[in-house]
Chain A
Amino acid sequence: MIRLLHTADWQIGKPFGGFDEERRVELKSARFAAVGTIAALARDRRVDAILVAGDAFDDNTVAERDVNRVLDQMKAFGGLWVFLPGNHDAAITGSVWERVRALGARRGLQNLIIADEPEPLALLDGRLFVLPAPLMRRQEGADLTGWFDAAETPAGAIRVGLAHGALENRLPEAAEAGNPIAETRALTAHLDYLALGDWHGFLAEIAPRTAYAGTPEPDRYPANAPGFVALVEIDGPGEAPRIERVPVARYNWVARSERLDGAVDGLEAVLAGFEEPGHTLLKLTLTGALPLRERVRLDEILAEWRERFFILDLRDDDLFDEPDDDDLDRIDLSGFVRTAIETLRAKADDPADPEREAARLAIRMAYVEHRRVAGTER
């Protein structure tokens, strides 16, 4: 039996440009930490080899320092590391792999294998043959795993395919299809296991003996299940692999939509439902309509929770203010202020008015300011 750790899409060097400096640094650090976690897991579970199925690096120009940090994190596992160039780190001229190879050699690393040639790799004294399909450019267009079918390996060795791309007809339509992989490849090539990368969610047995490990550390608000690695045990040639899903993620990325109609009461419970808000990135999309007093309450609630979540990214483009008589009573409107508010409401209610959005916000501002003024009076 051999035991493999299948992972992919580390995307080291992903910039997280939409975040502030502090969070950017933390998110980037988490990706290095994930490598350390994987190495420790492999060591603890006595894994024979780690297969990285592409996109270990987010870009071929990844900083030299980042490459070194990855090598540092890999130290915990002394077994084989087999890296496949993916679409982000394709084995083009001047690719990151030239540098990895040079840095590895300088460090005297013997367990570092870069599978940048489409030819069988005999590993573990010939017990394991890895058939890699490295990407030589970002988009190959053709199925690079075609050669697996005719590749000859000794009868007693376990055959494992290593590829990066979209398994045809098995992934949602949204998946990029620049690098297709035949859905029957594991069968036609008599593979015992086909380790895939590119899809960031964990997908075991997506086809017979075929799995996507997904990214170990999420990097976007997902619709799939990122944050895992696959521990694969294969008893021998022709035996069915046992695939175990092991969580390794540090940060939880969640996209959530809530509809608010008239009141914000349910929202707090939703926010409180997260176990580790400090390690959660929540993209909260709010829709519906609120009276001003509820809108102000919402702002207060969000202001509080913003401080508790790692990120609380609010999308409220489709959440509308709907001032009611109660609102206006509360702010005790009279005289010219009432006239002004009525003017703004008329604008806000007119779909043809170019200042409609501004008018809505202006009413809310008036409400907030008026409440504040009233507050100071008391």
Chain B
Amino acid sequence: MYLKSLAVREFANLDDASLEGLDPGLNVVVGDNEAGKSTLLKALRAAFFQKFRGRGETVEAFLPYGGEGRPTVCVAFSLAGTDYRLAKSFWTRPSAELDGPWPKPVTGDAVEEKLAALLGFTHPGRGDSKLTEHQGAFGVLWVEQGRSNAGLDIGAGRDAVTASLEGEVGTILGGERGRALIGAAKALNDRHFTATGRIAGNAPLKAIDDELGAARQELDEKRAAFADLDQKLKRLDDRRRALKGYEEAGTVEKAGEALRAAETAVRRAEDRDREWQAAEGALRQAEAIRLAALDALRRRDALLREVEETRTAYAAAAAEHATIDAAAREAVAAVSRARAAREVTRHALKQAESRHEIDRMQIALTRDQAEFRRLTDTVAAAEALSEEIRALSGQRDAIAMDDKTLSALDEAERQLRDCEIRLQVAAPAVTFEPDGAGGVIGPDGKAVTPGHSERVVTPSRFQLDGFGAVLVEPGGGAANLDAAKQRAEDARDALLKQAGAASLDAARLLLTKRQTLHGDLNLLAARRDAIVPHGLDAERARRDAAEAAVRRLEAALASARGEAKAELSLQNNDVDGDGDARLAALDKARRAAEAADRALAAAQSESEAMTLSRVAAESECHHLQMRLERLAEESAETQRAASRARLQDRLADADADCEAKRARVARHRADHDAEGPEAAKARRQAAEKTLRQISETVRQLREDCLGLEGEVRVVGGSGIGEAVQRLKESIADLERWRARVALEADAARLLYTTLVEAQRAAREHWLGPIKTRVAPYLKLLHPNSDVDLDEETLELKALRRAGIAERFERLSAGAREQVAVVTRLALAQVLKQGGHPATVILDDALVNTDEIRLDRMHAVLREAARDLQVIVLTCRERDFRDLGAPMFRL
């Protein structure tokens, strides 16, 4: 499509403007601000998209500023090689006319439909045509002032774009029918679901559910009513059966008869009761008589029995007394025997104790004597050791040699040696080596051995045969040394003399001997200390004490032996003897003595008890004798008054009388127990109550039946069972239906979502061609760049420069408008390729673009205008002066 001319009259701020002879390529329309460039675009939109009969605010805005007039737009355009001429007038005498390749122009409302079909857009159901919804691809292509950097305004245009794209991407797309199918599937889906996937308020499923809910609720209600009716019927049935039972059994009549019988019984029982009371009185009297007779007989028997008992008791007591008396005498004798026995054992004990004492002292004496001997020996040994120590100590002290003296001797000897060695060195050595047999005589007068070196330490004269004397005088040092040697020798000799030793070795031997003696002394002292640890004097004192103790014991023993012989007639052999045997004898004597004591005490105690018993027996004997006499007297007296046989006869008579009267009472009691007046009255009361109760029950049952019959009659004929059954069947049917509709809904949703998903996948392929078209333009502006388009909306998402995505809305205003314009041009080419009208109109679309990029945009526009009509509306002529396009001025 390309626009050939445009004429606008009385349209907003344009009174009369026209563009004639527009180029199929690039066109520039120049106008100052307020000149009406944007109005031109608005008029163009109005011509194509605004229904001419419109009366809304939008159309009112078409009116000139004065508010009066007939806004008119005339457009000539070419579409797919065919020329069209469109004229629309608004508001005042609205009209439309479209001339095209048909015999006569289309006019009126048909124009709108024709335009929509030709240009691929839709009219709104009501209200004004909106850029993104109703104007097809023209939202993309006709860029209003101020919108160039706001993205693509693609809206409904994307269907046109995708439709166009399909021409390029061929068979992978579903084509027009595919979109129609999606639309149809969406419609199916929307019947059931909301946009958010919930069941829609007017969905068939909702209606069924509502109906089901209502039916179920009604069923519940009917069932409840039915159950209620059933309950009532059961109650009615129960009442009727019960009532019938009462009536058939004549229950009320029977209860009346029972009451009458009970009343008769009461009267009879009262009569019987009175007779019974009289019989009871007679019985009581007879029993009193019988009791008196019985009592008399009992008393008599008791008296006779008492006499006999007392007699027997007296005889027994007398025999007992004789026995006890003999025993008491025997007990006194036993006491005397026990006492004698005790005396014997006492004497034996005393003898045993004396013997034991002597024995004990003898043992102590033996022990003390042994101790005394041991101490005497110890003292003697210790004294011998002390003597030895004294002797050795004298020997040791005689040796005047000690460590200190030996050290001094060693020192003196060392100094002497020292002097000798030094003298040997300092003294001249003389060697005589005579030629012949001549000898040499030394200063000491002895011959000197030839060839032997001789040290001369003092001036010495040697007599040489045949020569004379030679005096050898050593130097000064030698003389001194010899003197020192002499002193050292003197000192040593003095020390040796002091020590009493001939030589140093002798002195050492002396010291050794002294040390040996000292050691022996120490040993001896240790032995003595071991024998007498507390010292010799202490030991001697203990020995003396032991001796004194022995003496004392010997004296005491002698005295004890004497006493024993004198007092206890003990012989010496009794006194001496086996100690253990005597100890055993002592123990035995002691036990015998104790036993004798106990026997005596027991005998005394027995004797005392026997004495007391004898006294008691005597007293008892006397008492029984007195009592027997008194009772015998009493018995004789009563027997005289009335014999026992007579008493027995009286009792037998009373017994017989009582028995007869008791039988009578028993008969009356049995009658009473069978039914006394109380029982009879209770029975009468129960019978009254029963009659009352039964009458009440029957009355109640009749009332219940009447009431229930009334209720049942109303509900029973209401067809409630039918309603329940109908609802059950209806619910089953609805459930079947619901399953079917639910399946339909699921299927619709599945179809729609599957189609949409497949379409989305296919769209990814569609983006290719757009990018291919954008690329060469974009390269002119931003080398190495690319655009990201939203798969769903085809809107610009980002500019990708050197691989880095920058979100579109964050780009600079200039970059945004450049990218958007370039993308629009690409889309326009895609649309054109698809056979859609594709004229691009840019209304001040590049106002934020710098000069360098404006130049590049010129190149882009020129390139695009090779196969697209591009109309640039601008207020800045110089920006587009160099473009080389036809200029139109407003």
Interface of A toward B, CB cutoff 8 Å:
13-19, 24, 58-64, 66-67, 92-94, 96, 99, 332-340, 343-344, 347, 355, 357-366, 369-370, 372-374, 377
Contacts and interface: CB of A to CB of B under 8 A. Distances in A.
B719 A66 contact: yes
Given A59-B722, A94-B716, A372-B184, A339 B229 contact: no
Contacts of A18: 729-730, 732-733
A365 B174 contact: no
Most central of A14, A17, A370 by chain B CB within 10 Å: A17
A251 to B, nearest CB: 17
Given A337-B177, A340-B754, A340-B757, A93 B732 contact: no
B608 to A, nearest CB: 108
Given A62-B721, A92-B233, A358-B747, 9 more contacts: A17-B727, A59-B719, A59-B721, A63-B719, A335-B762, A336-B762, A340-B755, A343-B758, A362-B750
A363 B743 CA distance: 13
A99 B758 contact: no
Nearest to B732: A18
Interface in B714-735: 715-723, 725-733
B713 A335 contact: no
Nearest to B183: A373
Contacts of A362: 747-748, 750-751, 754
A374 B178 CA distance: 10
Contacts of A15: 722-723, 725-726, 729
Interface in B188-240: 188, 226, 229, 232-234, 236-237, 240
Interface in B691-737: 709, 712-713, 715-723, 725-733
Nearest first, the 9 A-B pairs at minimum CB distance are: A17-B729, A15-B726, A59-B721, A63-B719, A64-B717, A361-B747, A93-B237, A17-B726, A335-B174
Q: Is the interface of B mostly helix, strand, loop or mixed?
A: helix
Given A335-B762, A339-B758, A377-B177, A63 B722 contact: yes
A335 B751 contact: no
Contacts of A361: 743-744, 746-747
B237 A336 contact: no
Nearest to A63: B719
Given A93-B236, A336-B174, A340-B757, A58 B721 contact: yes
A337 B174 contact: yes
A370 B181 contact: yes
Contacts of A336: 172-174, 178, 755, 758-759, 761-762
A42 to B, nearest CB: 27
A220 to B, nearest CB: 11
Given A61-B715, A61-B720, A343 B725 contact: no
Contact of A335 (B173, B726, B730): B173
Given A336-B173, A340-B754, A99 B185 contact: no
24 contacts: A14-B725, A17-B729, A18-B729, A59-B719, A59-B721, A59-B722, A61-B229, A61-B715, A63-B719, A94-B237, A99-B713, A333-B174, A337-B177, A337-B758, A339-B761, A340-B757, A347-B750, A357-B746, A357-B747, A358-B743, A358-B750, A361-B744, A362-B748, A363-B751
A365 B719 contact: no
Contacts of A332: 177
Most central of A337, A355, A359 by chain B CB within 10 Å: A337
Contacts of B430: none
Interface string B734-774: 00000000011011111100110111011000000000000
A338 B174 contact: yes
A344 B757 CA distance: 12
A145 to B, nearest CB: 24
A359 B748 CA distance: 9
B175 interface: yes
Contacts of A343: 754, 757-758
A99 B714 CA distance: 11
B33 interface: no
Contacts of A14: 722, 725
B717 A370 contact: no
A336 B721 CA distance: 57
A112 B180 CA distance: 71
Given A61-B720, A94-B233, A337-B178, A358 B746 contact: yes
Contacts of B516: none
A373 B188 CA distance: 14
A1 B412 CA distance: 194
Interface in B77-118: none
A366 B751 contact: yes
A357 B741 CA distance: 12
B754 A344 contact: yes
A215 to B, nearest CB: 16
B171 interface: yes
Contacts of A62: 717, 719, 721-722
A302 B805 CA distance: 59
Nearest to A359: B750
B185 A369 contact: yes
Contact of B722 (A13, A340, A366, A374): A13
Contacts of A13: 719, 721-722
Contacts of B747: 357-362, 364-365
Contact of B233 (A63, A93, A337, A340): A93
A93 B717 contact: no
Most central of A99, A335, A357, A363 by chain B CB within 10 Å: A335
Contacts of A366: 181, 185, 751, 755
Nearest to B236: A93
Nearest to A364: B747
Contacts of B166: 335
A287 B880 CA distance: 76
B174 A94 contact: no
A338 to B, nearest CB: 7
Nearest to B719: A63
Most central of A15, A96, A363 by chain B CB within 10 Å: A15
Contacts of B234: 93
A334 B721 contact: no
Nearest to B711: A94
A334 B173 contact: yes
A109 B704 CA distance: 30
Interface in B411-451: none
Most central of B185, B750, B758, B759 by chain A CB within 10 Å: B750
Most central of B226, B709, B758 by chain A CB within 10 Å: B758
A301 to B, nearest CB: 19
Contacts of A333: 174
B712 A337 contact: no
A103 to B, nearest CB: 10
B44 to A, nearest CB: 31
Contacts of A338: 174
Contacts of A60: 716, 721
Contact of B178 (A16, A63, A92, A335): A335
A355 B233 CA distance: 51
B174 A334 contact: yes
Contact of A340 (B715, B729, B758): B758
Most central of B181, B716, B748 by chain A CB within 10 Å: B181
Contacts of B719: 13, 59, 61-63, 66
A183 B226 CA distance: 36
A357 B754 CA distance: 15
A345 to B, nearest CB: 11
Contacts of B758: 336-337, 339-340, 343
Interface string B30-49: 00000000000000000000
Nearest to A66: B719
Contacts of A93: 233-234, 236-237, 240
Nearest to A376: B180
Contacts of B709: 94
Contacts of A16: 726, 729
A355 B173 CA distance: 26
A17 B730 contact: yes
